[in-house]
Amino acid sequence: MRFKKKGKLSPRYVGPYEILKRVRSVANELRLPNQLSMIHSVFHVSMIKKCIADPVPIFPLEGLGVKEDLSYEELPVVILDRQVKKLRNKEVAPEKVLWRNHFAEIATWEAEADMKSRYPHLSPLNPNKG
């Protein structure tokens, strides 16, 4: 995933970063860390969010495990829930997965077979369920 793409699991903002100066009426230059030296430091005001008091929803860049190409791998932490849905000819069992660096409210439903093949070590939060 890249920061410029807006996906369900990608963070909305990274930072906070200090504004060094106003370049134009709608552009600001930010003080970026050395890890982001390949990114241009001038941003349009629509891409900047004011950080007032509680920076909890803003994820620090260090905790994401960002690679040189500005991508990172999202890892599941635990399976919160499992449901069995009956279709016409078969049953499917989606699992509610909690992802690293995300809150429980943002947990997503994933296919059981896909999760077992990609993450065989992952176990449900309550093994008696399902």
For the chain, the domains span 19-63, 76-118
pLDDT of residue 27: 92
For the chain, the farthest-separated pair of C-alpha atoms sits apart, in whole angstroms, at 62
Model confidence over 48-67: pLDDT tens digits? Answer: 888 776 655 555 666 666 77
Which residue bears the tokens 């943002």? 106
The terminus-to-terminus CA distance of the chain in angstroms comes to 32
Residue 36: Cβ within 10 Å count: 17
Q: Could you tell me which residue, 21 or 69, shows the higher pLDDT?
A: 21
Q: What percent of the chain has pLDDT over 90?
A: 5
Mean pLDDT of the chain: 77
- Give per-residue pLDDT as tens, 59-104: 566 666 677 777 777 788 888 888 888 888 888 888 888 887 777 7
